[in-house]
Amino acid sequence: MEHTIVGYFLQFEIMKNLVEMASSTLGFNASSIIAFIIFLTASLILLLIAATIGGLGTFAERKISADMQMRPGPNRVGPYGIVQMVADFIKLFLKEDIVPVNADRFLFYIAPILAIVGVLGTFAVLPISSGLIISDLNVALFYAVGISSLVGLGIFLGGYASNSKWSMLGGMRGAAQIVSYEIPVILSMFTVILFAGGLSFGAILENQSGGPIGWYLFHNPFTFIAFFVYFIGILAETNRAPFDLPESESELVSGYNTEFTGMRYAFFALAEYMEVFVVAAFASALFLGGYKIPFNIGGDSLIGQVLQAGMFFTKVALIYYVVIWIRWTLPRMRVDNLMTLCWKYLTPIAFFNLIGSAVWIYYFGNKSMWNLIFS
Amino acid sequence: MIPYNFDVFMPVVILLFVGVAMVVVALIAAKIFRPHNPNKIKNQEYECGENPIGVAWSVFNVRFYVIGLIFIIFDVESALMFPVVTVFRRMRDQGMGGVVLIEVLLFILILLAGFAYCWRRGDLDWVKSYKRPEGESK
C-alpha cells in the first residue's frame, strides 16, 4: 500500500488530518473517497504530462534531426519553435475525418484508441520517483508487457481495417515485427528479474544504487549484454528506425496509418512517441538505476522527490536522444534481415543470457561482479 | 491503520478509465470543430491516385503465419517463466536453488530443441531458396 502516490501523501500529518476532517463531516470513513480523488487527479495530471511528453517527442525528433542535417528545423512558432507541437495539434484537431468506404468501420474506429490506451496504461507503473507512482503493482513488469501489447494490436487492426494494400502490408509487417521482438525483450527483462527477485519496480530498484557501479547494467556480464539486446528490441517494438518497416514512408506510403486522418492519425503518432518514452523509462529503471540518486540525497522529502524525478527524466531523455540519433544515422533494414536479426541472433543471445544469469545466481547469489572482484 | 481499502489494481483501473475518457473526449470534441464533407473520390482508399483494384483482404503471405505460431510458443514459454525467475533467488536462499536451476534448464532445453528444429527446417528464414527441378527452364 505504501508504494503508491496516496501512500506517499499519507505519511504526512496534514493528509491524515484532512482524512479525519472529511470523515467527521461525512459521517463515515472517507479515506477511500479521498484516495479515489487523489488517484483520479494524479492520473489526469500524469496522462496530460504523458501527452505533453509525446508532443515534445515529436518536437525533439524534428529539432534533433534538423541539427544532424545542419538545418534550422521548426523555429517559427514560439521561441526556438517549442510551441510547434501545439500548432501541430490544433492543425490535426481541425482536420476532416475520412473513413475509406470499404473499411471495417468498427475496427477502424477502435484501432487508434487501442494503440494509445496500451501506452497510457503503462504509465500506471512508471516509477518516476519513490513517491510519484500511481501503483507499484507486484506484477508491474508482467502488466506492462501485457498492456503494451495492445499497441501491436492497434497497429495491426489499423492496417487491417483500412482495407488498403499499403496499410495491410504495414500492419502485417508491424504485427510480425512487434511479436518477434517481444521475445528477446522479455528474455532480457528476465535477466534483471532473476537478480531483483521481484516483478515490481520497487523490488527492481531496491538493489540498485545511484552510482553506475550499483546499476544492473554493470552488475555482471550477462546483464550488460542483456541491456543491448533489450535496447535493440525496444527500437523494433516501437517501430523506430532502423526498424521502421511498418510505416516505411518511402516504400509503403505511410504503412498502417496511411488511411488515418486528423485526430485518429494524431493518436497513432502520439502513441508511438509516448511508447518510446515508456520503453526508455523501463530501460532506465531496469538497467540504469531509474530514479535512484547517489547517497539518497533528500530522502523521502519533497526536495528528494523532485531530485529523483529529475534524475529519472534525465536518464530517459538521454536514452530518447540516442533513439532519435540512431534513427537519423542508420538506413532502414530489409525485412528478411530484420527477422534474421531477431530470431537467429537476438533470441539465442537472450537465451544464453538467461541461462548464464541463472547459473550465476546459483553459484554467487545476488553478488555483483564488483563484489566478487573486491572481496 | 489501513489508510484506504482499495484493491492494488484499483489505481490502474482508474488510470485506464481516465485514459479512455481522455481519448474519447478528444475525438468527440474534434467532431464538433472539424469539417465534414465527404465525396466518393475522397473516400476511396489510397492507391497512388488510381482507382483501387480489388480489396486488400485477400490471401496473404504464409510466412507471417509461421512467425505467429513460433511467437505463440515462445510467448507462452515466457508467461510460464515469469513466476519461476521471480522466485528463483528466494528459492536459492532457502537451499532449493539446484532443483529450480535444473527445472529451468530442462524447460529451456526442450524449448531450444524445438527452436533448433524450426531453424533447421528453415522456418526462420524469411527468404527461402527455391531449387528448380532439374531440366525445368526459367
pLDDT in tens, A14-55: 777 777 777 777 766 667 777 777 788 888 888 888 888 888
Reduced 3-state DSSP string for A298-319: CCCCHHHHHHHHHHHHHHHHHH
- For residue B86, is it within any domain? yes
Secondary structure of residue A62 in the 3-state scheme: helix
Instruction: Report how far residue A132's alpha carbon sits from residue B115's, in angstroms, rounded to the nearest whole number.
Output: 42
**CA neighbours closer than 13 Å in the CB half-sphere of residue A271:** 32
Tell me which of A41, A167, A183 to substitute to probe the interface with B (most B C-beta atoms closer than 10 Å).
A183
- For residue A342, which of B129, B76, B67 has the smallest C-alpha distance? B67
Query: So what's the pLDDT on residue B1?
Result: 41
CB-closest option in A165, A193, A365 to B56: A165
A340 and B124 in contact by Cβ < 8 A? Answer: yes
Torsion of CA A201, A204, A206, A207, to 10 degrees: -170
Residue count of chain B: 138
- For residue B114, is it within any domain? yes
Instruction: Report how far residue A347's alpha carbon sits from residue B73's, in angstroms, rounded to the nearest whole number.
Output: 13
Q: For chain A, give me the number of helices (H) and strands (E)?
A: 14, 0
Q: For chain B, give me the number of helices (H) and strands (E)?
A: 3, 0
A359 and B43 in contact by Cβ < 8 A? Answer: no
**What mean pLDDT do residues B96-114 have?**
86
Inform me whether the C-beta atom of residue A168 falls under 8 Å from chain B C-beta atoms: yes
Distances (CA, A) of A40 to A124, A180, B127: 12, 36, 51
A97 and B34 in contact by Cβ < 8 A? Answer: yes
Residues of A in contact with B123 (CB under 8 A): none
- For residue A185, which of A147, A229, A153, A132 has the smallest C-alpha distance? A229
Inform me whether the C-beta atom of residue A356 falls under 8 Å from chain B C-beta atoms: no
By C-alpha distance, the chain A residue nearest B23 is A113
CB-closest option in B19, B30, B46 to A263: B30
- For residue A278, which of A373, A174, A140, A176 has the smallest C-alpha distance? A140
Instruction: Report how far residue A261's alpha carbon sits from residue A102's, in angstroms, rounded to the nearest whole number.
Output: 16
Inform me whether the C-beta atom of residue B125 falls under 8 Å from chain A C-beta atoms: yes
The count of domains in chain B is 1
Which grid coordinates are listed for A53? 511528453
Range(s) of the domain holding residue B108? 63-121
B126 and A163 in contact by Cβ < 8 A? Answer: no
Q: A110, A80 in Cβ contact below 8 A?
A: no
Q: A320, A273 in Cβ contact below 8 A?
A: no
What type of residue sits at position A248? S
B37 and A103 in contact by Cβ < 8 A? Answer: no
Checking ipTM against 0.85, whether it exceeds it is: no
- For residue B71, which of A113, A185, A51 has the smallest C-alpha distance? A185
- For residue A314, which of A282, A278, A290, A279 has the smallest C-alpha distance? A290
Which grid coordinates are listed for A63? 529539432
Most confident by average pLDDT, A5-19, A66-80, A286-300, A310-324 = A310-324
**What mean pLDDT do residues B20-46 have?**
85
What type of residue sits at position B18? V
Higher local confidence (pLDDT), A43 or A316? A316
Inform me whether the C-beta atom of residue A183 falls under 8 Å from chain B C-beta atoms: yes
Provide the sign of the torsion angle of the four alpha carbons A186, A189, A195, A198, taken in this order.
negative
- For residue B49, is it within any domain? no
pTM comes to 0.88
A1 and B85 in contact by Cβ < 8 A? Answer: no
- For residue B130, is it within any domain? no
For A193-227, how does the pLDDT look when each residue is reduced to its tens digit (9 = 90+)? 888 888 888 888 888 877 788 888 888 888 889 99
Q: Which residues contact A221 (CB under 8 A, 6 or more apart)?
A: A356, A369
Q: In which band, very low, low, confident or very high, does the pLDDT at A262 lie, cut at 50, 70 and 90?
A: confident
Question: Can you list the alpha helix ranges (DSSP code H) found in A197-261?
Answer: 201-206, 221-237
Distances (CA, A) of A156 to A109, A169, A206, B19, B89: 13, 10, 37, 21, 38
A163 and B101 in contact by Cβ < 8 A? Answer: no
B33 and A94 in contact by Cβ < 8 A? Answer: yes
| pLDDT higher than 70, residue B130 | no
Torsion of CA A255, A261, A264, A269, to 10 degrees: 50
Q: In which band, very low, low, confident or very high, does the pLDDT at B52 lie, cut at 50, 70 and 90?
A: confident
Residues of A in contact with B29 (CB under 8 A): 93
CB-closest option in A134, A199, A344 to B15: A134
Query: So what's the pLDDT on residue B4?
Result: 57
A212 preceded by cis ω (within 30°)? no
The CA distance from B80 to the nearest CA of chain A, in Å, is 11
Domain spans of chain A, in order of start: 92-374
B36 and A96 in contact by Cβ < 8 A? Answer: yes
**What mean pLDDT do residues A83-106 have?**
86
Instruction: Report how far residue A143's alpha carbon sits from residue B103's, in angstroms, rounded to the nearest whole number.
Output: 25
Helix/strand/coil percent split, chain A, to 5 = 70, 0, 30
Secondary structure of residue A255 in the 3-state scheme: helix
Inform me whether the C-beta atom of residue A35 falls under 8 Å from chain B C-beta atoms: yes
B16 and A175 in contact by Cβ < 8 A? Answer: no
Q: Which residues contact A141 (CB under 8 A, 6 or more apart)?
A: A125, A189, A193, A199, A200, A201, A204, A282
Secondary structure of residue B137 in the 3-state scheme: coil
Tell me which of A133, A190, A223, A363 to substitute to probe the interface with B (most B C-beta atoms closer than 10 Å).
A190
B22 and A43 in contact by Cβ < 8 A? Answer: no
- For residue A245, which of A184, A166, A145, A182 has the smallest C-alpha distance? A166
Which grid coordinates are listed for B4? 484506504
- For residue B93, is it within any domain? yes
Instruction: Report how far residue A93's alpha carbon sits from residue B106's, in angstroms, rounded to the nearest whole number.
Output: 55
